[in-house]
A and B are shown apart, each in its own frame.
Chain A
Amino acid sequence: MERTMDTAEMTDTPNIRTRRKKTLVQRFWAWEASGVLVALAVLFTLLAFATDNFLSAYNVSVVMRQAAFVGLVALGQTLVLLVGGIDLSVGAAAGLSSIVGALALTQWGIHPYLVIPFTMAFGFFLGAVNGFFVAGLRLNPFIVTLATWEIFAGLTLVITKGYPIRPLGEQFQIFGKGEILGLPVPVVIFFATAIVLMWMLSQTRFGRNIFAVGGNRDAAILAGIRANRVEFLAFGLAGMLSALAGILFASRMDAGQPSVGEGWLMGAITAAILGGTSLRGGQGSIVGTVLGALLLAVLANGTVLMNVSGFWQRVIVGGVVLVAILVDLLRRRG
């Protein structure tokens, strides 16, 4: 009996469940960041033809720098989303960190070159506070970070009483205003960070564990992965990257401003989602988030160049997000 079954299986027409070879186009569409890449390409071409100065060196560097700050925050947000969480406090953490960094520079006499790592460490601490409640005590990340958002933003105002801390000094401005090989320093840092994270997510155990925990927490635990440690570190890294964005922005403004980071939260989540990162965890990519951040910056820039009222910008961004979700829906059904 057993033998008959085996031979029958082998000589029959191929099983309907076996996998068909995918064409290049199908594989492109199966990639979660394909939508944002197409959107970026279309918009890019459109603006290149419709305006005179979109491709000018100056404008390109403006766009990239704009993408860099929100982009760094979005990279951290991507890690948290991948692990199945969400961090609403990233913008406020960027603000508080930049203020603490500015104080370290002006009041505590920390060397300008050490201010960046110091601020990042402080940012990691802020993220770790979130991580402690979410990963350690298993509280809902939305609620925890809603609370810490308020706390971080409030502390910023307590410390500054609403006034900027300035000036930060000539030597420190190089991080925000300097250039390396013609690219603004924040842009270089943004791309470098993205490359390190891409490596981390695809080639290290910690990176793969992020996908495992976000994709199926129980399975990860049963496989011997310390899920709460992975979650804790993801939140810590998100805080750290927010702080990096915050202090770079302070360097560029030559001031620790209490308002730094306002509006970065939505930008960060939007960039990640445009790039194909799932809010349910376990799915997404760094490349997607980088492209998402670039798309947002190009959109903002494009509205200015096309003389569209700045008030319309948010309407357009919202519309683009909806279109992106629809495209993603079609892609998954396709």
Chain B
Amino acid sequence: MTSQTPVFEARSVSKSFGPVVALTDVSVSLYAGEVHSIIGENGAGKSTLMNLICGKLAPTSGQLYVDGQPVRFGTPKDAQAHGIAIAPQEINLVPNLTVAENIMLGAHAGNVAAIDWRRTRSEAARHLHQVDHTIDPSMRVRELSKAQQQLVQIARAAATEARILIFDEPTATLTYREEETLLAYIETLAQEGRSAFYISHRLDEVRRLSHRITALRDGAHVGELTPEQATREAMVTLMAGRPPKAGAQPIRDITTRETVLEVQGLSRDHEFEDVSFNLRKGEILGVSGLVGSGRTEMAKCIFGATKADKGGLTFRGEKTVFKSPLEAIQAGLIYLPEERKQEGIFPLLSIAENTALPTLERFGGLLHIRNREMIAEVEDLAKRMKAKFNSLTDPITSLSGGNQQKFIIARWLMRDAHVLIMDEPTRGIDVNAKFEIQAVLRKLTEERGLSIIVISSEMEELLDVADRILVMHEGRVKGVVDRAETTQEGLLQLAMT
């Protein structure tokens, strides 16, 4: 493999945005039939590098080569002309168009005067079937789930017939089965002689797929591994610059504690049915299930964002149903949505304002907001949660994903919260920050008696942090198990019976 010319090469590329250096002197290459993984923590420069390769950004210095020839990409279209396509991490589809049209976007079959719809549709279906068999190509993208949209996006990259494909975190939203299909598909691509850059936080996937693994840290190339060298420990050490912290939180006994929230027979048409469970004071309850299992819908319903058809709650000894999120928040039950960017943060506001927003009235003076007090309180919480930041008056977008998440949690600690429901709290957050957040959650349950429900599609995470795990499948509760008494296989089996 090494004797031939790489199909793609980046030599000493750097990229800065004004004074901020995102990438320094990075060189990577890709051979025909190779899957080359790029690993690194958030902010390590992976996405910047991929954006240079797909033509979305231009390097500040350095040179790109395709088949040994120097190239310069002004736009993604130029990169596509050289056979490079990307399936980006963020969902980037046109919601009002059909699946088929999204896949063939900008590449409809036909001539200038008229599109050949039949061929456009059949080609779209062919590409889609390589990664998924359940999605109807005539549906509109806005009707699909997040995971399905991710698959459509991957099919679109494949549809370009590109020789070089970039997969940026393709499995972050996928469930076990979808992930299997996708990984198998990428393996087929490589066997056909096409090549791929692969980015993922899931290190077992990286090890399985890759022919080579390159690690980035703080915008610099810090090492290259063969799949044989790439133990979990070796990869994390390269990415973080230090060995990984311990994973699982110790097992504890919570059976004697009082119940703070009891859910009784909660149902909502087409979403979930007859959900019952209880949550104890200071407990972390994990909710496991595939996409479409009704876990998020259930959480939103408890929170009062949607109306239950049947059933109710007992919250701190009182029978109730929250009619709106405001009621739930005032009672001390908080829901943190999965889509941090869309539903969780206010990108134009500072870290302090983002944190204190729901409690601003506490800092209201006669004519102004008592900023100094507000910042002092946010700072105190930030320290306890070990959040990293320059200044609390910086915009929240200056933080990494993990740190943003800490401040969003802090937001609700500023008022008296009793129950926190977190939907995918560590999705897209790097390994060490993930462990830190888990430790913070544990600490909160112990110090403040907070009860937490963690919804996650990563069973490993639940097995690290939850006291008990509730398994949902197709809208129903399949069982609740103690963490000490189960394994990943056990959870899967429970879901399927």
Measuring CB to CB, which residues of chain A are less than 8 angstroms from any residue of chain B? 1-2, 4-6, 8-9, 12-13, 15-19, 203-205, 208-209, 211-212, 215-216, 218-226, 282-283
Contact = CB atoms under 8 A, between A and B. Distances in A.
A224 B270 contact: no
A203 B86 CA distance: 27
Given A203-B117, A219-B105, A226-B75, 14 more contacts: A5-B496, A13-B474, A15-B474, A16-B292, A16-B474, A17-B145, A208-B115, A215-B97, A219-B92, A222-B54, A222-B56, A222-B92, A223-B76, A223-B106
B96 A16 contact: no
11 contacts: A8-B496, A16-B271, A16-B475, A208-B108, A211-B94, A211-B97, A216-B95, A219-B93, A219-B102, A221-B76, A282-B96
A205 B115 contact: yes
A220 B177 contact: no
B332 to A, nearest CB: 30
A225 B94 contact: no
Among A224, A226, A283, find the residue whose CB has the most chain B CB atoms closer than 10 A. Answer: A224
A218 B75 CA distance: 12
B475 to A, nearest CB: 6
Interface in B468-485: 474-475
A223 B105 contact: yes
A222 B492 contact: no
Contacts of A216: 92-95
B108 A205 contact: yes
Interface in B69-107: 75-77, 80, 86, 88, 92-97, 101-102, 105-107
B96 A211 contact: yes
Contact of B294 (A16, A220, A226, A283): A16
Contacts of B117: 203
Contact of B474 (A12, A203, A221, A222): A12
Contact of B105 (A6, A203, A225): A225
B446 interface: no
B339 interface: no
A6 B94 CA distance: 31
Contacts of A12: 474
B145 A212 contact: no
A222 B86 contact: yes
B97 A5 contact: no
B193 interface: no
A219 B86 CA distance: 11
B93 to A, nearest CB: 6
A215 B96 CA distance: 7
A218 B90 CA distance: 11
Given A204-B115, A208-B115, A15 B94 contact: no
A2 B97 contact: no
B286 to A, nearest CB: 20
B105 A204 contact: no
A16 B269 CA distance: 10
Contacts of B105: 208, 212, 219-220, 223, 225
B94 A204 contact: no
A14 to B, nearest CB: 10
A2 B180 contact: yes
Among B88, B96, B101, B102, find the residue whose CB has the most chain A CB atoms closer than 10 A. Answer: B96
Contacts of A282: 94-96
A216 B77 CA distance: 17
Nearest to B297: A16
A265 B447 CA distance: 62
Contacts of A9: 177
Contacts of A211: 94, 96-97
Nearest to A278: B96
A70 B108 CA distance: 33
A52 B139 CA distance: 47
A231 to B, nearest CB: 15
B110 interface: yes
Nearest to B94: A215
B136 interface: yes
A215 B94 CA distance: 5
B343 interface: no
A215 B95 contact: yes
B1 interface: no
A208 B101 contact: yes
A4 B108 contact: no
Contacts of B361: none
A5 B474 contact: no
Interface string B108-124: 10101111010000000
B156 interface: yes
A287 to B, nearest CB: 16
Nearest to B293: A16
Contacts of A8: 496
Contacts of B134: 15, 18
Contacts of A6: 177
B492 A1 contact: yes
A320 to B, nearest CB: 25
A190 B108 CA distance: 29
A209 B97 CA distance: 11
B380 interface: no
A18 B134 CA distance: 9
Q: Give me the 4 closest cross-chain CB pairs, A-B, nearest first.
A: A215-B94, A223-B105, A223-B106, A224-B77
Interface string B418-436: 0000000000000000000
Interface string B235-277: 0000000000000000000000000000000000011000000
B136 A204 contact: no
A6 B492 CA distance: 12
B177 A205 contact: no
A125 to B, nearest CB: 23
Contacts of B113: 204
Contacts of B107: 223-224
Contacts of A205: 106, 108, 110, 112, 115
B268 to A, nearest CB: 11
B106 A4 contact: no
Nearest to B497: A8
B489 interface: yes
